[in-house]
A and B are shown apart, each in its own frame.
Chain A
């Protein structure tokens, strides 16, 4: 790493206050779908980057699932070399504008930052977002020169974060890459799941276009397993990557789930995001505003749904069976939701949904208390007998997780899956079927954007080795060759 030019001492660095990203006013944003955090100014970014202590051990880099070269990019930001910084990040992370917004940095790079406990970690996410936005907004995104064609063909199934990573990595190696997407827009969960106010769709579009400009052939509305058989792909392509996500909605199996006004989080968010239901009737897919929407669950998806409901004009309540400390959602999302006036009914579990004339009119809930830790290490919620009560509501969104969509997998009887229906892979993300890799939520179950990207990166390396006749990463052969 080149020597820092600013000459600040560690003490001086620690004295710099952590940058605060300006945000849209909570009241104003509770009725619009525009992005909540507004981004750092160039001055803020340069100042914030100087907080980095350049620790020898680079805990931040170890905390990053894809190993972004964080101190190096921070140094470039400090010098005002924003475009260079963006390009450096892109060497390991092809979607910095996305991950800068949606990564749980407090559990990863920023959480591992030496400054984290006492001063708050360096705002790595905000800076990542800043440089990526700077590059995109100033139209200085550079298309890398076309590599020499390898003559190999790769099919990527699913255009979510992991598929985009695989496509992005392998197109640079000169392979012909075709990406298949079942829906009518590319981006997977980035377009159907994460709302506009958390991740503007323009950004996803720009990232997808970047891949298209490099030559990735994006085949929209092609449902592999239906429109095209897996066998056809195996015949035509040298490698196939499955990154179809965990898109199967989970219901609770309680009474009243069939009522109108009960949505899976997938339906609710797909209507809002992909189908632009919040612009109804300019767009035809309806997403009727509820008077009071109860969202069951405590993850990021639940926060997204509750915040969408709030923006459509109604009251919005999160119903979660554990306590606040156990909420799986990011602290920032919970905080934003609270600011926007979303009510939290914690230690509360629905018992049944109450209907009238086929429509939701309320929900019976029971209060919970925390008992002994369960398998996940979290304290198990136990119902408090006789504590039942009713909440009046006209919409219920069920956001208790998602499962593997069997649409493709059921057409591959030889594919090894685990007892929950997720695909089994080795450490290079290879499946038991020759030429087939898999990664992201379809392997791990619902996780994060960056973990899916990390999985894509691992698979891409393995595919590259396979296509070029090199030993697989991590094998003894490969280590011998590397040394």
Chain B
């Protein structure tokens, strides 16, 4: 059944891998696209980047972090149970071309999400270098799969516990110091990581694509909540993106709009947590509870 959970496991602290039965989506999925999940009948529509799919098995894979009410609901679901709704694939696929040497960089959920990109760039005849950014060594994951589709993996940790110490820009320096010419780059991760990565590639003049992860409601171009300014033009991340030129994105606006519902997100998370913990009854209405 579409939406049935096959795997829902924590791969490293607070990064979860979710494998869903979704043959229709798997069949049409392309690198760079996303899906939307509604965890339960009262849930929001939440976008997630497609990180893998298997047409024959009819499955799709996403990686996610528990960061709010929807992902908290997701972590509670067990194999055999189902998400309320899964829809996709959505968004424009990533433009895959032969550039020469391509750098794919990931952070947090992006370590999972860059896999289809790396694979596609590799299949298109590129030399593919994956750069995995993490705070520390024990939250690096997906290396084995990535090694199947890349020529090299560079690990960058903020605390220097493994690989290059620092961030993507420090990894870039290593590449440049050894004379590696990068023809194209693509980054997937939290907004901050993508912004810093785009800043890091700019001095080298490397064309840089980022996969934005804005708020969305419908995900089909209807509501406009995902609007971003790219080179001064309003674009919808859901239908014009999610890939954009990282050097042209107005990052201040991306950050500001992501925080648009911060207060409500906290409230929803706490309200749900209180219900789960039994601090308020399952059927409590907000008026009574808060």
Chain A bound to chain B: yes
Asked if A184 and B87 sit within 8 Å, CB to CB, the answer is: yes
A91-99, A103-111, A142-150, A276-284: which one contacts chain B? A276-284
Q: A227-B28, A286-B268, A288-B263 are in contact. Are A249 and B256 (CB under 8 A)?
A: no
**Taking CB as reference atom, which chain A residue is nearest B85?**
A184
- Would you give the 0/1 interface string for B265-283, flagging 1 where the beta carbon is closer than 8 Å to chain A? 1011001100000000000
> Which label, helix, strand, loop or mixed, suits the secondary structure of the A interface?
loop
Please give, as numbers and ranges, the residues of chain B lying within 8 Å of A406 by CB-CB distance: 221, 239
Known: A182-B87, A182-B220, A247-B220. 14 other contacts (CB 8 A): A184-B85, A226-B28, A227-B25, A248-B221, A267-B223, A270-B222, A280-B286, A281-B290, A284-B70, A284-B268, A286-B261, A288-B261, A288-B264, A405-B220
- Neighbouring B residues of A248 by C-beta, 8 Å: 221-222
Partner of A247, one of B221, B234, B268: B221
Known contacts A282-B286, A284-B42, A285-B44; A266/B87 CB under 8 A: no
CB-CB under 8 A for A182 and B218, given A260-B256, A270-B223, A285-B44 = yes
Whether B205 sits at the interface, judged by CB under 8 Å, is: no
Decide if A258 is an interface residue (CB 8 Å cutoff).
Answer: yes
8 smallest beta-carbon distances between A and B, as pairs: A286-B264, A358-B256, A267-B223, A221-B87, A260-B260, A264-B224, A281-B271, A249-B224
CB–CB A284/B28 < 8 A? no
When the two chains form the complex, which single residue of A253, A258, A275, A280 contacts B257, counting CB atoms closer than 8 Å? A258
> Please, how many angstroms separate the alpha-carbon atoms of A285 and B85 in the complex?
15
Tell me whether B224 and A405 are in contact (CB under 8 A): no
**Known: A222-B24, A283-B42. Is A260-B257 also a contact (CB below 8 A)?**
yes
- How far is A243 from B104 in the complex, measured between Cα atoms in Å? 40
Within 8 A of A (CB), among B87-134: 87-90
Given contacts A223-B220, A281-B267, contact A267 B225 (CB under 8 A): yes
**Which B-chain residue is minimally distant from A258 (CB atoms)?**
B253
Q: Does A251 touch B at the CB level, under 8 Å? A: yes
- Contact residues in B for A358 (Cβ distance below 8 Å): 256-257, 259
Shortest A249–chain B CB gap in Å is: 4
For the complex, count residues of A whose C-beta is within 8 A of B.
Answer: 42
**Chain B residues at the A interface, C-beta cutoff of 8 Å:** 24-25, 28, 38, 42-45, 69-70, 84-90, 217-218, 220-225, 227, 229, 234, 239, 253, 256-257, 259-261, 263-265, 267-268, 271-272, 285-286, 290
* A227 in contact with B268 (CB, 8 Å): no
Which residues of B are found within 8 Å of A405, using beta-carbon distances? 220-222
Contact yes or no, B90 A223, CB < 8 A: yes
A183 within 8 A of partner (CB): yes
* Residue numbers in B under 8 Å from A229 (CB-CB): 28
Contact status A251-B220, CB under 8 Å: no
Return A311 CB to nearest CB of chain B, in Å: 15
Distance to closest chain A CB from B88 (angstroms): 7
* Nearest neighbor of B42 in chain A, beta-carbon distance: A283
Min CB distance, B281 to chain A, in Å?
12
A160-200 contacts to B (CB < 8 Å): 182-184, 192
The answer to whether residues A183 and B218 also contact, given A227-B28, A284-B268 and a CB cut-off of 8 A, is yes
A322 contacts the other chain (Cβ, under 8 Å)? Answer: no
